[in-house]
A and B are shown apart, each in its own frame.
Chain A
Amino acid sequence: MMKLKSQGRFHLPLLVGGLSLSLAAVAGMVIGLPGSPDTLSPDDVPYYALPFGPGAEGEERPFWPSRLATEGNLLAVADTLPASGDCAGCHRQEYLEWAPSLHGIADRDAVYEKTVEANEDLLRHGVQQGRFCEGCHAPNELIAGRVTKLASVAPGPASADGVSCLACHAAVHADPQTGNGALTLRIAGLGGDPADLALLAAPRDHADRWGSAATKALIGKSELCAACHTENYDPSMSKATTPQDVQSTFAEWQASWYADQGVTCQDCHMAPDPAAQVLALRQGRVAKPDRYSHAFVGANYLMFETGLGETLTFLRGGTIPGLTEAEADVAIVAQREATHALLRAAAGLELRSVRADDSGLRLDIAVQNLGAGHNLPTGVSDQKHMWLEVEVQDAGGSVIYRSGGFDAAAGVTDPDAVMWIEQFLDGKGEVIPNHLTFATAEVKWVRRAIPAKGEEVVGYDIPLPSGTRGPLHLKARLWYRVALQDLVYQNLRLETPVPPFALAELDLTLPDEALK
């Protein structure tokens, strides 16, 4: 029998001993400091109600009528669900961009929150039916099992996150055509605690968990956004007997020049300077941004309207967690400026023709969608609407014609204005002005939105009083407003007028031919 050399005889027992002792110590550590489970079955959450039952093929659907799903239909443990604030430990810039953004406040924004409550009050299963809304606005609350009439799960650190980090970075599947929150999240084993030194030493595993191949394939595509920015009503969440398109932003983009050019939602709404990106696109330059910001600049200027003072803090659902007051002020102003610039880059007005005859003056004004990669307006268009204000003055400055005026004190628009808006109708055909989804039977456009790179020419026949002196002066403004005053009155019990935003303006002296 071969004999080990002396070094082997000396060291090998020590190696084996060291290995064994170390493994024993690790085993003790694992037993003494156990990890917490991060998922659980809906059955394990007391009083978690599933009033809608399984799907047509018997599949579980714990978040119905939202189409949000998790792999394995599991719920997340609220205490261990990674909060966006946890991500801020290392991804601070992304957090500072996201926290004041529309995505960051999506669950706290009072316009949303009060409208959900108004909807929930309509039905016996109202809270559970509210999952339809929360799937997109509060995915963390929904997957933690907190959206149920008798919520037995205490709020966790991630509960108020809105469209959180994991809503996108844990997504492994999206269904852009179906929408209504049709994302599938992989929530098991995400981790991400910055106090985890192993994560800091080797972030590779963390990056792989939060950036799986499926997530990477999805994260830069419009399809990801479409899961929530496509919305349809059916009997699951409304009184509609046939499917009603409510938001079709993805489909609008898909049919546009932008989709043909490979310009995605992220390319504009996550560009560091979205307006500059849009202006470049208007000139045909389709280069991608150098980096992607998490500010998600969109069209909701109201949530950055600093002129509202403390009302703004109320509307935004409070202060911004993790930011000092000074940081928050700077962030909100920066997003306000970015939002205003983006909105102004989207639209244009052009005087197409001026004709005069015995009956008066005929003006044709083109309302142009110059920079939006989707219709104008888009989104929740029973609220987000635009209208055209036209004013003609004579040589003395007297107003001889006006359409589309806005009473800033009352927040009321001329009812005869040329307006691009859709309406929710109840079962009796009555208009629902305050976004009561659960009562809506039909959605119809008053005037259809203007497609990307499209325009609509609006004609005005203006009777001229005899003796009108020229030259005539035309002022036209294309106004945009994110919510109807009725919604603010009825859902928020707030009298603050919702200020409109001027997307485009025309201010010119009409040629002499305007006066025959």
Chain B
Amino acid sequence: MTALALPRLSIPLRPAVGWAGGTRVSGILSSLFAALLASGLVLEWGPVGGAMARSALVLAHVAGAFGFVLLFAPWALRHARRAPAKSQRPLFSLLGWALMAKYVLVLVTGLLMALPPALWLSGQVWFWPLAATRTLAFLHLWPSLAAAAGLALHLTMRHWRS
């Protein structure tokens, strides 16, 4: 009896030929983060009128977020292990850790916010207390904007001594 041979999936960690400053995974993460930010801001302040449009956007936002988490968790672990050693500037390192914390906060609060809709779709009605939903929404929105600013800084700020 022969074992079923599964194809090996691998996403290269090293830059592909011609790529510099990022990997395929980090590139996908950046694109996804931008898409999540945009859809989140539209949900928060945008002109999405109908319940169907809003629901579709929430579903897309949550699906994107799950994809983001799946890629981000292993990537972030590796990045956190290797990247600090390359930083020659304490301020850069500090901001890097702060960025990581913001990402984690945004993802955790998003997960908690997604619980009531997930339960609704499974036929159960359950809500966080109203005060908790206000706190969650606050901790999801503003740190995501801070993370966007932090990411821009992270990608442009020197991490070496001149």
Task: Verify A8–B21 contact, CB threshold 8 A.
Answer: yes
Give the chain B neighbours of A23 by CB distance below 8 A. 38, 42
CB-nearest residue of chain B to A202: B137
Report, as a range, how many residues of chain B touch the other chain: 35 or more
Question: B58 at interface (Cβ–Cβ under 8 A)?
Answer: yes
Given known pairs A7-B22, A19-B35, A202-B113, the reply for A26 and B155 (CB within 8 Å) is: no
Give the chain A neighbours of B94 by CB distance below 8 A. none
Given known pairs A10-B19, A10-B22, A26-B39, the reply for A196 and B54 (CB within 8 Å) is: yes
Task: Report how far A10 CA is from B21 CA in the complex, Å.
Answer: 5
Task: Verify B21–A26 contact, CB threshold 8 A.
Answer: no
Question: A458 at interface (Cβ–Cβ under 8 A)?
Answer: no
Give the chain A neighbours of B53 by CB distance below 8 A. 29-30, 32-35
Task: Verify A6–B21 contact, CB threshold 8 A.
Answer: yes
Given known pairs A5-B21, A92-B125, A201-B116, the reply for A26 and B57 (CB within 8 Å) is: yes
Give the chain B neighbours of A26 by CB distance below 8 A. 38-39, 42, 46, 48, 57
Task: Verify A197–B58 contact, CB threshold 8 A.
Answer: yes
- In the complex, identify which listed stretch (A187-195, A322-330, A411-419) lies at the interface while the others stay far away: A187-195
Give the chain B neighbours of A22 by CB distance below 8 A. 34-39
Give the chain B neighbours of A90 by CB distance below 8 A. 125, 127
CB-nearest residue of chain B to A90: B125
Task: Verify B125–A89 contact, CB threshold 8 A.
Answer: yes
A-B contact pairs, 19 of them (CB 8 A): A4-B156, A5-B157, A10-B20, A11-B21, A14-B22, A14-B30, A14-B34, A22-B35, A22-B36, A26-B42, A26-B46, A36-B49, A197-B117, A197-B121, A198-B57, A202-B137, A203-B127, A203-B130, A204-B137
Task: Verify B113–A18 contact, CB threshold 8 A.
Answer: no
Give the chain A neighbours of B88 by CB distance below 8 A. none
Q: What 1/0 flags go to B120-155 for Cβ under 8 Å of A? A: 110001010010011011000000000000011011
Question: A9 at interface (Cβ–Cβ under 8 A)?
Answer: yes
Question: A395 at interface (Cβ–Cβ under 8 A)?
Answer: no
Give the chain A neighbours of B157 by CB distance below 8 A. 5
CB-nearest residue of chain B to A92: B125
Question: A207 at interface (Cβ–Cβ under 8 A)?
Answer: yes
Give the chain B neighbours of A29 by CB distance below 8 A. 48, 53, 56-57
Q: Which of B34, B60, B157 has the most CB of A within 10 A?
A: B34
What is the CB-to-nearest-CB distance from A86 to chain B, in angstroms, rounded to a whole number? 10
Number of residue pairs A-B, CB distance < 8 angstroms: 152
Chain A 154-205 interface residues, beta-carbon cutoff 8 Å to B: 191, 193-204
Task: Report how far A204 CA is from B114 CA in the complex, Å.
Answer: 14
Residue total for A at the interface (Cβ-Cβ under 8 A): 44
Task: Report how far A494 CA is from B56 CA in the complex, Å.
Answer: 53
Task: Verify B57–A14 contact, CB threshold 8 A.
Answer: no
Task: Verify B58–A198 contact, CB threshold 8 A.
Answer: yes
> A5, A16, A201: which contacts B58 (Cβ < 8 A)?
A201
> A4, A15, A34, A201: which contacts B49 (Cβ < 8 A)?
A34
Chain B 29-55 interface residues, beta-carbon cutoff 8 Å to A: 30-39, 42-43, 46-55
Give the chain B neighbours of A446 by CB distance below 8 A. none
Task: Report how far A14 CA is from B133 CA in the complex, Å.
Answer: 32
> A11, A36, A207: which contacts B50 (Cβ < 8 A)?
A36
Task: Report how far A9 CA is from B22 CA in the complex, Å.
Answer: 9
Task: Verify A204–B130 contact, CB threshold 8 A.
Answer: yes
Task: Verify A11–B134 contact, CB threshold 8 A.
Answer: no
What is the CB-to-nearest-CB distance from A37 to chain B, in angstroms, rounded to a whole number? 9
Give the chain B neighbours of A18 by CB distance below 8 A. 30-35, 38
Question: B59 at interface (Cβ–Cβ under 8 A)?
Answer: yes
What is the CB-to-nearest-CB distance from B119 to chain A, in angstroms, rounded to a whole number? 8
Task: Verify A7–B31 contact, CB threshold 8 A.
Answer: no
Given known pairs A18-B30, A23-B38, the reply for A200 and B116 (CB within 8 Å) is: yes
Chain A 120-165 interface residues, beta-carbon cutoff 8 Å to B: none
> B27, B55, B158: which contacts A198 (Cβ < 8 A)?
B55
Question: B93 at interface (Cβ–Cβ under 8 A)?
Answer: no
> B33, B48, B155: which contacts A8 (Cβ < 8 A)?
B155
Q: Give 17 new A-B contacts, CB below 8 A, not counting A5-B21, A197-B59, A198-B43.
A: A4-B156, A5-B156, A6-B20, A6-B22, A7-B156, A10-B21, A12-B152, A18-B34, A22-B36, A22-B39, A30-B46, A30-B53, A191-B51, A196-B51, A196-B55, A198-B57, A202-B137
Question: B26 at interface (Cβ–Cβ under 8 A)?
Answer: yes
Task: Report how far A14 CA is from B152 CA in the complex, Å.
Answer: 12
CB-nearest residue of chain B to A23: B38
Question: A287 at interface (Cβ–Cβ under 8 A)?
Answer: no
